[in-house]
Amino acid sequence: MGRFGDAIRDQGRERPFPVYGSDGELLPRCENCWAYFNTYCELDQWSWNCALCGNPQGLSSQAIARYSHPQSCPEMMSSFVDLELPVEESDEAMQPCPVYVAAIDLSSSEEFLELTKSALLASLEALAPGSLFGLATFSHKLGLYDVQGPIPVVKNVFIPPDTEGTLPIELEDVMPLSQFLAPVETCKDRIGSALETLRPTTSWERTTAAGQGLEGVLMGGRGFGVAMEAILNYLGSEYGSTFALGRVFAFLSGPPDYGAGQLDTRRYGEQYASKREDADRALLPEQTPFYRDLAAVAVQAGVCVDIFAVTNEYTDLASLKFLSVESGGSLYLYSNADDSTLPQDMYRMLSRPYAFGCVLRLRTSSEFKTGHSYGHFFPDPQYENVQHIICCDSYATYAYDFEFEDTKGFARHGSEPPIIQIAFQYTVVLPPEELSDSGLVSSIRGKHSLKRRLRIRTLQCGVAQNINELYDSVDPEVVLSLLVHKVILASLEQGVREGRMLLHDWLVILTAQYNEAYKLVQLKNGSSVIGQVDVAFSQCPELQSLPRLVFALLRNPLLRFHEEGVHPDFRIYLQCLFSALEPSSLHRAVYPVLTSYSTPDKQAYPRHSLSRAALITSGSPIFFLDAFTTLIVFYSSTADPTLPFPPPHDCLLRTVINKLKQERCVTPKLIFIRGGKDDATAFENYLIEEQDVDGSGLTSVMGFVSFLEDVTQGALEYMKSGI
């Protein structure tokens, strides 16, 4: 895998928030590299020099007049600006109402539909006034609901069973879009009434329609692919006129197994059939490009797709994920309907402010360039380093690594520092109340307004003069984030086993290079060793957490083997979740935070290692584990029986829990366990440091200690080889 990328820390005088302004279209741009003018550019009365490429260029008379009053120009005050852009004529004619469509799987169970109804009723409460909502169902037929009349009316179209088939009729001819999309404000109760009419299709209906019934065994009936393609084309015909952003919520209870886009789930049972193929690699690639191609249709239609899969059967999310990830949506997986957080997740997602129609572009100064980019976006088919994002919120995270342009690296001390410029163009919908607050009252009561904005952040980076400075500037959470992105990519291309090996080798090489840099180990005659390998990075505090993070990542279901019970769909779900998390959240997901409390109102220790030994030696009665998607409160078997269980709602521990739940992009599952009385497996599974790194169970020596010994031996061999 080689180097995983350089961690660069901004050394500029940065504000935590941008300076806002208008006239973004007037911001000068470099004629050579197209970078935007910023505070790091050299400026005189008539011209300016680009801070990224050094190209000199003249200023227009309008810019000269503008910059004669620098205090009124955001780009002269800060290197972090957010400027309003003029609304294009085509946008002015656009109805900026947000459009939401729920596509519900009827080839399901009563429990699945009850959960889906609860989630949608919760989401209706979160939608802004003026939003439009459409209800569709799919099985062996596609149903469109008209909820604008006194009684909900559904019109169905049968889905062709063949794998190349499309609907025999356009949905616009089945039901005009204006009839399908109902105003949430006036139709909320009718939407609820329509949801109450939903029933699962019977096995008789599905087998008869599919023509694949065999001795009463159900085969086929979930025409998800055709349904989604038809809905996206249905909405896309009105993109730019009826709506500016569409969101489709797709609720799945199992794999698409009917019509175009159906997936062959037999490969799950056959993954070990070939002795020549990595079994964990067999289920990671997509088996058909259908859903990746459908994502391109969604992007063109201005529609973001969120997939909510509620199932414990193999659904092949490896193929389905592209529809959500590349359209700017999210992929959620719930193993059952009983304890699912789907309603809370939907309400949380829709309550957050979002941007849409986004274009992200990163530029660098000439010494280096962008290597890989990571995140949920759609790469521009024509321009490099340009990503299109249909929809995103403040939790959305994108990562880049860099490469030097040549072997010289960065210029020597005394030259201009390297610069990164991030340009993000986006649109927001302002509801009527915000327009009123800003004095921009619309002529039409209740009408939303579109605002197009350009956010630019220019970062001047410090350059380490030696390896010690480089190590001292490391941010371990950022390094972990890049590691996760890279091992996901390696796993998809070469398999989980190869991804694990590359991650292990990375730590071995880092350990060897660190010991050589600090001259902690010397080789005599190329074989005998003088000194002891420092695998704990005792000379560099910034690196000390990395061995534990790498060990934890190797023990994470993301990289564990299928033989340990890791479901392939859960692995894909983790890939999608982890690739969208910001570094501090990802840190908790990989290596959970374990805290102890002497009482529910008093914290004992803020951090423990994830080991049984830590529990025993601390002597604390209460432990709280934050694994990002799961929160566990564990009472030791030796805890004083007078301590209230579960913790009271007004105690400190509950306050901490509630704060963490509010801050999450997903709703964490909260579990209370009383040691000695309840099954503690859920908690003990997180105590990974005594587990063997390869998952073969508890070892004769502690797992993490054994892992460090292995890294030490690998580092010695690496140094001896003189690579």
Q: Which two tokens stand for residue 149?
A: 């009349």
**How far is it, in rounded angstroms, from Cα 584 to Cα 395?**
12
Which of the two residues, 654 and 328, has the higher pLDDT score?
A: 654
Under CATH, which number does the domain 593-685 receive? 3.40.20.10
Model pLDDT, residue 229: 94
Q: Where are the domains of the chain?
A: 19-84+354-433+447-463, 99-204+220-351, 466-590+704-722, 593-685
Half-sphere exposure of 415 (CA within 13 A, CB side): 14
Q: What is the model's pLDDT at position 106?
A: 94
pLDDT average, residue stretch 498-517: 92
**Can you tell me the mean pLDDT for 107-124?**
92
The domain 19-84+354-433+447-463: what is its CATH number?
A: 2.60.40.1670
Q: Is the pLDDT of residue 398 over 80?
A: yes
Beta strand residue intervals within 151-295, DSSP E: 153-158, 182-183, 246-252
How confident is the model at residue 524, as a pLDDT? 65
- 99-204+220-351 classified as CATH 3.40.50.410: yes
pLDDT for 49-97, tens place per residue? 999 998 999 988 888 888 888 888 898 889 999 999 987 655 555 566 7
pLDDT computed for residue 1 by the predictor: 31
For 669-701, how does the pLDDT look when each residue is reduced to its tens digit (9 = 90+)? 999 999 888 998 999 999 988 876 665 554 444
Give the highest mean pLDDT range of 163-177, 325-339, 459-473, 499-513: 499-513
Least reliable range by pLDDT among 315-319, 561-565, 698-702: 698-702
Write out the two tokens for 482. Answer: 């890049």
Residue matched to tokens 């067999």: 282
Q: Out of 241-255, 256-270, 317-331, 551-565, give the one with best mean pLDDT.
A: 317-331
pLDDT at 489: 92
Half-sphere exposure of 656 (CA within 13 A, CB side): 20
Q: Helix 568-578 and helix 476-494: axis angle, to 10°?
A: 140
The CATH topology of domain 466-590+704-722 is Four Helix Bundle (Hemerythrin (Met), subunit A) (1.20.120)
4 pLDDT band, cuts 50/70/90, is very low
Q: What pLDDT is stored for residue 696 in this prediction? A: 53
Mean pLDDT of 184-206: 84
Tokens linked to 288: 């058909």
Per the prediction, the chain carries an average pLDDT of 84
Q: Is the pLDDT of residue 166 over 50?
A: yes
What is the rounded distance in angstroms from the CA atom of residue 292 to the CA atom of residue 327?
10
Average the pLDDT over each of 34-48, 160-174, 588-602, 660-674 and give the range with the smallest value. 160-174
Cβ-contact 236, 242 below 8 angstroms: no
Q: What is the pTM of this model?
A: 0.87
- Residue 325's alpha-carbon distances to 270, 508, 572, in angstroms, are 27, 33, 11
Closest listed residue to residue 492, CA positions, set 650, 644, 283: 283
pLDDT band at 434 (very low <50, low <70, confident <90, very high): low
**pLDDT attached to residue 719:** 85
